[in-house]
């Protein structure tokens, strides 16, 4: 969808104003129209003992935060890239502008989905905030969001909608305005009154084929359907789903510091709360191996773990199944209902279990999630469980050595094409890997043009599987 079509579909939505001297009018909501969908009901929970008991008001949420670290634990910027498309009905502030580049951040918050369980139909006011970041995608429609998106013609020379936060080329009239309104932070989504529909009620949801999207895995859960009617939706019609969905980009310190040596991984818990189950995963082209610390990591504790060797790797299918079972068990133990755990693993199994690389997964304490991503539900639920999996992509010393060698090739016309191919083959992680390599080379000026092109590149194609 182009920026102009985005604007035309939300022309009736309320407008708000930034400080007029900075950017003029902005739009506080918008997105694509949902497609026609079929009736979709929840699964039968009778065979699942780890399910909603049928009484009270319960909220469950799962999600994942992705970071990339150098072998020394340094957080690498460049996590704004996408690897898989979301359905077109999802509201997307990034799509509202034509971003020639993008503000690089070092944390991507991916697919938190929030489920609601109630023994009777009800309404709840729901908001989520992201003090250290911006909430970039969501569904259903929200009544308002912040920071706002600038409307076309709001400032001289602005011909299309643009994002003052994520577009580094936004035409601010001075550094004071940019500092005040352009910082990555203070993200907020307000869904207004969300209808929590009767249990078992079938509702029409927009089409999201699993052939093209992993979206519908999250629907295979016995949660009450939800519907938004008060928010200014693009079509003016109610929007229904099995959950509330959102994503974000930000700059914040994850709960643990992860470093890597030649064959070991060190995980240091920097919080006063214990981390949940910890996984170290090594995936090769044809197989993988993993180790797990089921008890997690105590407050202030540091653990040193051997990186699983690919010499003893199981074939990829068997490895992915075994790791999926282990992660599902850890999610169950963290308080998710079993069908929620299965949905989370099904959503992410390709990227988590089948993409080559060394990575660490661990469960963040809920206190950290509540502090970094405050969720407000009114009336207050009887129980709230929020499970956030931190995914750490580790640039090992061996990978750094190869990336540095490739980056050196950017300085020579004879080797430049091969050097670029090396990084472009890394897909969504090309930018953080390139940034790390150039950093180890003391940021040579000859690397800047290629870094700029990688920063603004689209990476929505599946890679590395």
Q: Are 393 and 298 in contact (CB under 8 A)?
A: no
Secondary structure of residue 251 in the 3-state scheme: coil
**Of 181, 176, 304, 246, residue with least CA distance to 31:** 246
Whole-angstrom distance, CA of residue 334 vs CA of residue 415:
50
Whole-angstrom distance, CA of residue 396 vs CA of residue 359:
10
pLDDT of 62? 98
Whole-angstrom distance, CA of residue 243 vs CA of residue 283:
31
**Of 400, 65, 388, residue with least CA distance to 259:** 400
pLDDT of 87? 87
Secondary structure of residue 398 in the 3-state scheme: helix
Residue 234, sorted as left (phi over 0), alpha (psi -120 to 50) or beta, turns out to be alpha
Q: Strands 57-69, 383-394: parallel, antiparallel or unpaired by DSSP?
A: parallel
Q: Could you read off the pLDDT of 380-424 as tens digits, one per residue?
A: 999 999 999 999 999 999 999 999 999 999 999 999 999 999 998
pLDDT of 241? 96
Whole-angstrom distance, CA of residue 40 vs CA of residue 409:
53
pLDDT of 150? 72
Q: Could you read off the pLDDT of 150-189 as tens digits, one per residue?
A: 767 667 777 677 777 777 677 777 777 777 777 777 889 9
Q: Strands of 133-139's sheet, edge to edge?
A: 91-92, 133-139, 244-250, 107-118, 57-69, 383-394, 357-363, 278-283, 287-293, 314-315
pLDDT of 38? 37
Whole-angstrom distance, CA of residue 456 vs CA of residue 100:
6
Instruction: Quote the tokens at residue 450.
Output: 């290629």
Cβ neighbours, 10 Å, residue 341: 24
Q: What is the DSSP string of 74-90?
A: -B-S-----SSPPPTTS
pLDDT of 145? 85
Low-confidence stretches of the chain (pLDDT beneath 50): 1-21, 23-47, 96-102, 459-465
Give 302's Cβ-side CA count (13 Å radius).
9
First-to-last C-alpha distance (Å) of the chain: 28
Q: Are 148 and 105 in contact (CB under 8 A)?
A: no
pLDDT of 121? 97
Burial of residue 305 (CB within 10 Å: 0-12, 13-18, 19+) is middle
Any idea where the domains of the chain sit in the sequence? 3-34+60-250, 256-394, 406-455
Matching residue, tokens 């979206």: 215
pLDDT of 13? 33
pLDDT of 251? 87
pLDDT of 405? 95
**Of 114, 378, 392, residue with least CA distance to 268:** 392
DSSP state of 418: H
pLDDT of 103? 57
Whole-angstrom distance, CA of residue 243 vs CA of residue 226:
6
pLDDT of 259? 98
């Amino acid at each position: 969808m182009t920026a102009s079509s985005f604007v035309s579909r939300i022309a009736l939505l309320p407008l708000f104003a930034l400080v007029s001297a900075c950017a003029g009018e902005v739009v506080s909501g918008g997105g694509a129209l949902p497609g026609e969908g079929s009736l979709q009901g929840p699964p039968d929970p009778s065979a699942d003992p780890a399910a909603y008991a049928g009484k009270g008001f319960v909220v469950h949420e799962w999600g994942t935060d992705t970071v990339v670290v150098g072998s020394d634990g340094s957080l690498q910027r460049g996590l704004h890239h996408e690897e898989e498309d979301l359905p077109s009905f999802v509201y997307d502030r990034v799509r509202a502008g034509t971003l020639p580049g993008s503000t690089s951040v070092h944390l991507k918050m991916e697919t938190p989905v929030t489920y609601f369980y109630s023994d009777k139909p009800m309404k709840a006011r729901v908001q989520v905030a992201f003090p250290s970041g911006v909430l970039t995608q969501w569904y259903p429609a929200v009544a308002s969001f912040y920071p706002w998106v600038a409307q076309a013609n709001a400032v001289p020379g602005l011909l299309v909608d643009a994002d003052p936060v994520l577009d580094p080329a936004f035409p601010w009239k001075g550094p004071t305005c940019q500092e005040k309104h352009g910082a990555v932070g203070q993200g907020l989504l307000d869904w207004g009154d969300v209808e929590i529909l009767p249990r078992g009620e079938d509702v029409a949801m927009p089409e999201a084929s699993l052939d093209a999207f992993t979206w519908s895995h999250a629907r295979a859960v016995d949660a009450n359907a939800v519907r938004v009617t008060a928010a200014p939706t693009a079509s003016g019609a109610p929007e229904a789903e099995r959950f509330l969905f959102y994503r974000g980009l930000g700059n914040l310190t994850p709960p643990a510091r992860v470093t890597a040596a030649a064959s070991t991984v060190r995980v240091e818990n920097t919080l006063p709360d214990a981390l949940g189950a910890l996984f170290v995963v090594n995936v090769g082209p044809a197989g993988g191996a993993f180790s797990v610390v089921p008890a997690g990591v105590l407050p202030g504790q540091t653990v040193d773990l051997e990186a699983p060797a690919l010499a003893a790797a199981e074939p990829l299918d068997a490895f992915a199944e075994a790791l999926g079972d282990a992660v599902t068990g850890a999610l169950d133990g963290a308080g998710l209902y079993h069908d929620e755990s299965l949905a989370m693993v099904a959503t992410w199994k390709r990227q988590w279990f089948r993409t080559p690389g060394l990575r660490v997964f661990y469960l963040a304490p809920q206190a950290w999630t509540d502090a970094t991503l405050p969720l407000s539900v009114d009336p207050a639920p009887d129980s709230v469980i929020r499970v956030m999996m931190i995914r750490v992509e580790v640039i090992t010393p061996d990978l750094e050595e190869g990336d540095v060698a490739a980056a050196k090739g950017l300085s020579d016309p004879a080797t430049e094409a091969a050097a670029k191919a090396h990084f472009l083959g890394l897909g969504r992680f090309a930018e953080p890997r390139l940034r790390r390599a150039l950093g180890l080379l003391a940021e040579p000026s000859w690397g800047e043009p290629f870094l700029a092109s990688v920063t603004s590149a689209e990476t929505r194609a599946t890679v590395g599987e």
